[in-house]
Chains A and B, each alone.
Chain A
Amino acid sequence: MWEKLANIDRRWLYALMIFVIALALIKPIGLAIVPSADTQKVYDIVEQLPPGSIVWMGMEFSAGGIPELMPAILSMIRQGWKDGRDLRFVCAGMWQMAGDMAEQAFSTVKAEFPDKEYGVDWVNIGYKPGGEVLLQQYQNSIIETAQGVDFYGNDLNTLPLMKEFTSLKQAKLVAIFCTGTPGEKEYIKHVTSPNNIPLIEAAISVSIPECMPLVQAGQIKGLVAGMKGAAEYEVLVGAPGSATAGMDAQSFSHALIIVFMILGNIGYVLTKNKKQAS
């Protein structure tokens, strides 16, 4: 029996995982989410921006990062637009889905802020080829680097926001949403360190250990850590959404893995002891 515990068929784990996650999403129990210091810092940085400040949003992720990063983006836009703060956002990215991600975010939030206008309050430049070279060239001229058009094919010269915001160096804050490379290191190297622009990041959980040295060095001013950080940000902004809903599922999936780990270790230890005894 103990050997069976140490060698449970992985398909049982997969089946239980589906069941546990589905149950938590269908019938959430609403575990309390307490904002951490890291997320609070991000919130405070955005909160302290003067009204009308221009924020560069780097959409450096693809579809796999949506569950962890999209809630953070939505929260940031809501925080930037509520209570008359009127922050303005320019979105671009080195990843192919940058434009689609920005489109998804703003089309979701726009309904809550009907007075906000494209081209005045936000611009979606989207993806342009070139990788990290783009970041250097955006500092010279955004319109030239973007080949004169935004994600929708509009002439950037006709957009009021882009008449004012001609270079990335003018951004008051750089907020990036990353799932890999190119990501924060490229922004630190080319944009924020040379120009002393504060950088905040929302990153997927897997990237958090790697980002911690950058946070401690002050190169990243604030970090929204994975889905938990996104849920905390939603709580701070007062608009619980998919991240908050996902935390129950994440909690119980972790619990399931822990149960299997404990069972596996019990089986391993008792099997080992039995073998040693015999």
Chain B
Amino acid sequence: MKKELPVAITLILAILYVLANYFTGVAFLDTAKNLLDRWYLIVAAWAVLVGSINLTQIHGRRISGKREGWIFSVWLLICLYGMMFFGIFVAKNASHPGWTFMYNQLIAPMNATVYSTIVFYIGSAAYRAFRVRSPEASVLLVTALIMMLGRVPLGRMLLGGHPALSQMADWILNVPNSAGMRGIQIGACLGGVATALRIALGIERGHLGGTGE
């Protein structure tokens, strides 16, 4: 029953959810869907507790064993529990000035900073990857050059104001790129539906810790 029960639950709920998405005017289906959405949110909220316990255990062991970099584990736990207690006992809602200060002045800039490191990684990835190793790689290189110059004002400036590069970049976006994107998306969507069907029907059980049937 350890494997059969989750599979049965998955099948029943999958049918309910799919039918609720397709059909309207059936009160039972709407209620079931709303209930499932709310249960998911509740489970997700409690799962944060599970994750926090895992983090605490891992970093607690690093601290107690004084492993390399253990001081950063101390800092992590201070930030984790500090913000948690502040949010629950002091701020109590997201519009508290202290809470918005922490979010807007600490978390948001840190997120933006890490996101900004992508500019460096794009540079080093482009330098490594765009080499004339093969005909396909050469096409990739030329396309990259056209796109990089065509999508900034520099391209126009290099050609004395002529829009040739941006026109080529637009053509690449509108024609081969769109065709490729559509093909990949159609294939990916079909694959997603097939995967969902396999899981709903209990044929694929890799996510339960087994392998297939």
A and B touch in the complex (CB under 8 A): yes
Q: Which A positions have Cβ atoms within 8 angstroms of B?
A: 8, 10, 13-14, 17, 21, 31-34, 36, 62-64, 66, 97, 100, 129-130, 133, 151-153, 205, 208-210, 212-213, 216, 225-226, 228, 247-248, 250-258, 260-261, 264-265, 268-269
Contact, CB under 8 Å: A33 / B120: no
> Across the interface, which residues of A come within 8 angstroms of B174, CB to CB?
212, 216
Say yes or no: is B8 at the interface (Cβ < 8 Å to chain A): no
How distant is B69 from chain A, measured CB to nearest CB, in Å? 23
Nearest B residue (CB) for A101:
B108
Nearest A residue (CB) for B145:
A258
Bound complex: CA A100 to CA B103 (Å): 10
Bound complex: CA A230 to CA B41 (Å): 36
Contact, CB under 8 Å: B152 / A228: yes
Contact A213-B108, Cβ < 8 Å, known A257-B122, A261-B141, A265-B141:
no
Nearest A residue (CB) for B138:
A265
Contact A256-B112, Cβ < 8 Å, known A212-B177, A212-B178:
no
Say yes or no: is B3 at the interface (Cβ < 8 Å to chain A): no
Say yes or no: is B148 at the interface (Cβ < 8 Å to chain A): yes
Contact, CB under 8 Å: B148 / A257: yes
Contact, CB under 8 Å: B123 / A247: no
The one of A14, A33, A63, A226 in contact with B108, judged by C-beta atoms closer than 8 angstroms, is A63
Contact with A along B95-111 (1 / 0, CB 8 A): 10000100110001101
Name the interface size band of chain B. Answer: 35 or more
Nearest B residue (CB) for A231:
B153
Bound complex: CA A17 to CA B103 (Å): 29
Contact, CB under 8 Å: B153 / A251: yes
Say yes or no: is B62 at the interface (Cβ < 8 Å to chain A): no
The one of A32, A36, A258 in contact with B149, judged by C-beta atoms closer than 8 angstroms, is A258
How distant is A160 from chain B, measured CB to nearest CB, in Å? 22
How distant is B92 from chain A, measured CB to nearest CB, in Å? 12
Additional pairs, 14, CB under 8 Å, beyond known A254-B149, A254-B154: A17-B119, A31-B152, A31-B154, A33-B153, A64-B115, A100-B103, A100-B108, A209-B173, A210-B181, A251-B153, A251-B154, A253-B123, A261-B144, A268-B132
12 A–B pairs (Cβ distance < 8 Å), ordered by A: A13-B127, A31-B157, A34-B153, A64-B111, A209-B181, A212-B177, A247-B152, A247-B153, A256-B123, A260-B127, A261-B130, A265-B131
Contact, CB under 8 Å: A63 / B112: yes
Contact, CB under 8 Å: A153 / B95: yes
